[in-house]
Structure 1
Amino acid sequence: MDVNIKLYHIALPDFKSGGMENWGLVKYRESFLLYSPEESTPYYKYKVAQIVAHETTHMWFGNWVTCHWWSDIWLNEGFANYFEDYITSLIEPELGAGDMLVIGSLHTAYDGDSDTGSPPITNKNINSPSEIMSQFGPISYQKAGSVIRMMHHLIGDEAFKAGLNNYLLHNQFGSGYPDKLYSALTRGVDDFMSLSNYPNINFTSIMDSWITRSGHPILQVDVNKEDSTITLTQKRFYINSSHSSGEIYKIPITYTIDTNFDFSNTKPAFIMENKTHVLYIREIRENLTTPIFNIQETGLYRVNYDNHTWLNIAELLKGNRREEIHYLNRAKIVNDLFAFLFADKVKFVLLKNVLQFLENETEYAVWSVAIRGFKKLRNFYLGSDTLALIDKFVQKLTKNAISKLGYKVRDEDNSATLRTRMELLVFVCRLGHQGCINNLVALFQDFKNNGKWIHPSLREAAYCMGLKHGNGDDYDFLWNRMATTNVVNEMSLIKEVLGCSNEQAKLNSYLVSMLGENSPMKTQDLYIPLISVLGEYSNVNTIVEILKQNVFLWKSIYVNFDIVLSNIASAMHTKKEIDAYNAWLTSCNKCGSSAVKSAKDALDVAMEKINWAEQHTIDIRSSLENNARAITPSILLLVLSIITLAF
């Protein structure tokens, strides 16, 4: 296509969105367009590239061809979501954007698509302004982008590019519809015969099964050595195990087996169209074969295995064949196991056994997913005795990684190494890892007292630990730095870490003064103080008291007051806190009925978490208290068999 259209990019000092596409002019928040190599973290380098790619994609998917109605906003946002990382990975591979398609976009899609109320990607019930706004979320963005990625791997590069060119050329300056997209891609498929290996498969019917149906599947894999079969069963995945429904998806199946692992071929072996499918694998009888499904997680489906196979996978990961399993599949195993734990599909003892391999793991993608999973698990047990056991286990898993990465940046560190160290140090310091705390506090004090430069990738951990284990002078030092720096990424980082302070008076001042008439806080950043202070569980009651005293002011400043009340509700971790907050909400005439309803819905979710934690405390504590005692695979299998019978 001959696209001779100028496109300008501008940074605005106060802008609500991260970025916004317009014909010829894309607007950005400063921190998402301006990058300083000496002062910005590796995350911001990636984020700037990602958002610029996202907004530039809208020049074609959104401006050149615009979705006909909000019900199909995914035709704009799904492609922008996919290409933001895909294009970045082609231009700047070192940033690891290709991996973010999985651990960022796809895993976000799972999280937003696991409830009974999850809508389909094409949602025909969109008529009011509020319904339109509800479309701008993980379903239209991350889930749609993940489906597009899955189809790209299914039909291949040539058919994919030819199909998109057909779609854009034939609909230029007009409206886009799903059927028009499918027809254009089908022409590409036919021209390159890219579905010739799948008899009687219609491309449109595959797309329809993902675009018009809610949810996503879990693939149950059962290996039977006696008759050399692998039985696959699909069903819709729900995070609440009590729900079930009959959706059937047309799943592009990829797999490899340990007799000859090959994680490079992401072309599906077949399309699973029915609820069950049986594979005959000769090697199963001849060897103790272990299959791994969903290569590089190119498919939008979770994978659960029978107990024998999970234990075989655990042994492979703990042994010298760990790196034969692609790191994105190792990340998938971690992500799926945490999801299955929270959905009551596996027991903690299995998760603990499989995740032992993290003791030797160094890949960013795997650690990023593991940290996210452990953060969620820790949130269930904040304020309880079980938390100390979880933290001890996590510190054991992270010990070797911390030792290899160290507390200093090296000249040879690439972007992935910098981000791995950054996320691990932020995480383990908050767990109370004394070596981490001592090193990062020393870095901060050297910076504060002697002006010694801290590498941007270490600043979040150093600033937070400096505040948490310092005094009011440390808070004032960072406050003044925030007020005087002209580096927007540094300013944003300091705003986010000020909540780490252990000085109650400073936290009170942060929450109140930042919302006053002469506040230095920009409108775009109004929620940062609240989220920052809520990051420390011990601050919840303080925030509630400040809210009660300033409810009228807060409501006048926060346009979406329901977000404020809901975020506070989500931070509750005891029944006493929930009951007290619920009673206040009921009596709060100034809060507004809509905001109160949102907050009470969030309290219901918080209560569900408390109930889940109570139900699983014995299981988790017994597993972790026996951590020092070796558990052989045969003993673990016996335990899992008993658990399976009991549940």
Structure 2
Amino acid sequence: VEPEMGLGSRFINEQVHTSMLTDSADNPHPLTNPGIADPVQVRSMFSAISYNKGAAIIRQTDHLLGFTVHRDGLRRYLNSRSFNTALPTHLFQALQNEAVATGSIAQYGEGFNIIDYYRTWTEQPGHPVLNVQVDHQTGQMIIYQRRFNINSGYSTTNTNWIVPITFATASNPDFQDTKPSHIIRDAITVINRNSIGDEWVIFNKQQTGFYRVNYDDYTWNLIVIALRGSSRTQIHEHNRAQIINDVFQFARSGIMNYYRAFNIISFLENETEYTPWVAAITGFNWIRNRLVGSSYLDRLDEMIVRWATAVMNHLTYYPIPNESFMQSYLRYQLAPFMCNLNQLGCREIAVLQFQELRQSGTEVPVDSRNWVYCNALRQGTEEDFEFLWERFLNHNVYTEKILLLQSLGCTPHESSLIKLLDAIIEDNFIVRPQDYTAAFSAAVNGNEGNTQIVLRYIQRNVTAVALAFGSTLTPINYVTPLSYISSRLRNILQIEEYENWVVANREEFGTSYNSIYSGIESTRQSLQWAADVQNDIEYYLNEGDETYQTSTSAPVVPEEPVTVTAPQLVEPTTPELPESDSANTAFLSMFIITIAIILNVTL
């Protein structure tokens, strides 16, 4: 609809990557859940999985069938079930009928159908990681699929999906044709690359499929050589973002070490595109939040600043006349990140633009206000806070008021921060109740030292704070404000002091006590994780990038595809999927609702 808005690229970061993270937890819910029986279970379905993963699976299917066939299949479904109830299987059957009528899935053989395909993605929670082992001398690729788990690498549950496969190679770097060339359904599958010799291969063109990909060491080396070289842009921007996101999650889960991960993503030093850098910001923020207080954070920040030099030289800290929306939007996200890294140029420009606003009334560019206001306050005085506070009270544009409210928490001055907190918890018309959560979170996260200031404030006003997060005082009201605190405890001493206070107030917290205490345990685990990976990170910071060499001949593409007989493989037993929903079931999954809403807008 609006190509300049870059919605196709933003979908990768905002929908695919966010839902994959949620979907990789220990117990995510499936897209289709006929067992919903009470309001609590209904609310649980309104999640990133239902909306974001649901949208990603629709996108995957759109590339599988082709836009026209997929659209016509959705229309067939809506027409056939108009003024009637519907089950997921009705959608699947309508798409299957359209696919058969148009021949769009004929190439995958009689054993493939949309009904079974969709059921593996909607009735099973989680998603697969494909481990690809490439024999570069024969072109044979062995693919192992396993369910990914962010906490342990792989799930203990034996689950297979029907996965649409696309891949590009150095000799055929066509990332535009996203129609799957293969369909895999088994735990182990062998396909041929149709080329022989050293060359990179990258699965999941434009990350159209909802799965992660890990490669054997030598194939990763070939990918790294390409990403560091002049042919980097042959690899699609979305796939460069996919590699960054996958590698960060592989390292976090223990599948890959950080020395290897940083070697792979070191191409960021020459990267200037939106999607890869937003994926990198997300990954680095997760690591940095767990290394606060360690001796490695400053060195890691220096490395990131060095890698970001090219992109920031390209963007600058000021709007460029006639620049694209996506360039402006990347600056909007990257500039505050650079200030958080204590990049001197970023902080100096923030103060300069803020002082121009105070002294001469020169407005800060709209897309720069999120980082200029905050970083000016971080380095500013109580008078600077009062200036923005008055601007907040008197401004009549709602979006500006919200931005100011979120920025006021960046002040490091305790008296100013308490003024903001009082405005949140006291009965007044200064801060709207629906904005309490955003304002309180900003107060805790605005500065590293703010966490302890806000904690002391909560301890003095615990009941009043809880009342601000609900119309009546109930135990659940305590969970949200205290979760902001527990996630930002930086050492064992802070954890123990906070834990002692929580235990002492157990009676007041009531049934929310266990949830509050689990936040403490989660922070302990984060500190232990940081201790476990510090040596790995230090090794990369000391040694830098590893140089990789190829060892076999350049690729040769045969005139006819090479067919290789697969070795005898033993496949793990896969449990049968549940039978189709009964026609008497009145449940309409959140997944189907998502499709209906999308079509209502687009048709």
Q: Please state which band the TM-score falls in when normalised by the shorter chain.
A: 0.7 to 0.9
1:569 to 486, 489, 493: 486
Separation in structure 2 between the aligned mates of residue 601 and residue 176 of structure 1, nearest angstrom = 40
Shift of 1:519: 4.5
Residue pairs, 1:478-627, within 5 angstroms: 478-535=388-445, 536-559=447-470, 561=477, 562-589=479-506, 591-627=508-544
Matched, 1:194 2:104: yes
Residue 632 of structure 1 corresponds to 547
2:240 to 320, 330, 336: 330
Contact 1:158/1:188, CA 8 A, preserved across alignment: no
Contact 2:144/2:188, CA 8 A, preserved across alignment: yes
Residue 362 of structure 1 corresponds to 272
CA deviations over 1:536-588 (Å, ceiling 9, x no partner): 33222222111111111111220252222223222223222222222222222
Matched, 1:442 2:343: no
Shift of 1:634: 5.5
1:292 to 184, 194, 202: 202
1:319 to 213, 225, 229: 229
Matched, 1:400 2:317: no
1:502 aligns to what SS in structure 2?
A: coil
Residue 12 of structure 1 corresponds to none
Shift of 1:589: 4.5
Q: Look up the equivalent residue of 1:623 and give its one-letter code.
A: Y
Matched, 1:238 2:149: yes
Higher mean C-alpha displacement, 330-339 vs 91-100: 91-100
Separation in structure 1 between the aligned mates of residue 519 and residue 39 of structure 2, nearest angstrom = 23
Q: Per chain length, whose mean CA-contact separation is higher, i.e. which structure has more relative contact order (CA < 8 Å, sep 6+)? A: 2
Contact 2:128/2:161, CA 8 A, preserved across alignment: yes
Contact 1:95/1:415, CA 8 A, preserved across alignment: yes
2:41 aligns to what SS in structure 1?
A: helix
State the identity as a percent.
30
Residue 374 of structure 2 corresponds to 464
Separation in structure 1 between the aligned mates of residue 226 and residue 236 of structure 2, nearest angstrom = 12
Residue pairs, 1:36-55, within 5 angstroms: none
Separation in structure 1 between the aligned mates of residue 452 and residue 85 of structure 2, nearest angstrom = 51
Separation in structure 2 between the aligned mates of residue 497 and residue 314 of structure 1, nearest angstrom = 39
Shift of 1:109: 0.7
Residue 28 of structure 1 corresponds to none
Shift of 1:140: 1.0
Contact 1:123/1:212, CA 8 A, preserved across alignment: yes
Separation in structure 1 between the aligned mates of residue 296 and residue 92 of structure 2, nearest angstrom = 51
Separation in structure 1 between the aligned mates of residue 518 and residue 448 of structure 2, nearest angstrom = 20
2:188 to 261, 273, 276: 276
Structure 1 gap segments, 5+ residues each: 1-90, 636-647
Shift of 1:590: 5.9
Residue 332 of structure 2 corresponds to 422
Shift of 1:505: 1.3
Residue 112 of structure 1 corresponds to 22
CA gap of 1:570–1:173, structure 2 versus 1, over 3 A, is: farther
Contact 2:269/2:308, CA 8 A, preserved across alignment: yes
CA gap of 1:501–1:236, structure 2 versus 1, over 3 A, is: same
Contact 2:506/2:513, CA 8 A, preserved across alignment: no
Contact 1:261/1:324, CA 8 A, preserved across alignment: yes
Separation in structure 2 between the aligned mates of residue 125 and residue 580 of structure 1, nearest angstrom = 42
Residue 578 of structure 2 corresponds to none
Shift of 1:148: 1.1
Residue 567 of structure 2 corresponds to none
Contact 2:423/2:431, CA 8 A, preserved across alignment: no
Shift of 1:396: 0.6
CA deviations over 1:255-314 (Å, ceiling 9, x no partner): 011112000011111111101111223423xx3121000000000000111111112111
Separation in structure 2 between the aligned mates of residue 373 and residue 532 of structure 1, nearest angstrom = 21
Separation in structure 1 between the aligned mates of residue 513 and residue 455 of structure 2, nearest angstrom = 14
Separation in structure 1 between the aligned mates of residue 507 and residue 469 of structure 2, nearest angstrom = 13
CA deviations over 1:23-72 (Å, ceiling 9, x no partner): xxxxxxxxxxxxxxxxxxxxxxxxxxxxxxxxxxxxxxxxxxxxxxxxxx
TM-score, L = length of structure 1: 0.81
Q: Look up the equivalent residue of 1:633 and give its one-letter code.
A: Y
Residue 3 of structure 2 corresponds to 93
TM-score, L = length of structure 2: 0.87
2:48 to 138, 141, 157: 138
- RMSD of aligned residue pairs (Cα, Å): 1.6
Structure 2 gap segments, 5+ residues each: 471-475, 551-603
Separation in structure 1 between the aligned mates of residue 36 and residue 496 of structure 2, nearest angstrom = 36
Separation in structure 1 between the aligned mates of residue 347 and residue 533 of structure 2, nearest angstrom = 31
Shift of 1:591: 4.2
Q: Look up the equivalent residue of 1:325 and give its one-letter code.
A: I
CA deviations over 1:332-375 (Å, ceiling 9, x no partner): 01000100010111111112112221111111111111111111
Contact 1:497/1:532, CA 8 A, preserved across alignment: yes
Separation in structure 2 between the aligned mates of residue 534 and residue 315 of structure 1, nearest angstrom = 42
Residue 95 of structure 2 corresponds to 185
Separation in structure 2 between the aligned mates of residue 327 and residue 228 of structure 1, nearest angstrom = 25
Separation in structure 1 between the aligned mates of residue 2 and residue 547 of structure 2, nearest angstrom = 45
Q: Look up the equivalent residue of 1:587 and give its one-letter code.
A: A
Shift of 1:179: 1.1
Matched, 1:261 2:173: yes
The aligned length equals 541
Shift of 1:163: 1.4
Contact 1:565/1:596, CA 8 A, preserved across alignment: no
1:540 aligns to what SS in structure 2?
A: helix
Matched, 1:251 2:163: yes
Contact 2:22/2:49, CA 8 A, preserved across alignment: yes
2:105 aligns to what SS in structure 1?
A: coil
Contact 2:424/2:468, CA 8 A, preserved across alignment: no
Residue 122 of structure 2 corresponds to 211
Separation in structure 1 between the aligned mates of residue 322 and residue 229 of structure 2, nearest angstrom = 28
CA deviations over 1:180-237 (Å, ceiling 9, x no partner): 1112212221221111111110110000001011110001111112443111110000
Q: Look up the equivalent residue of 1:596 and give its one-letter code.
A: Y
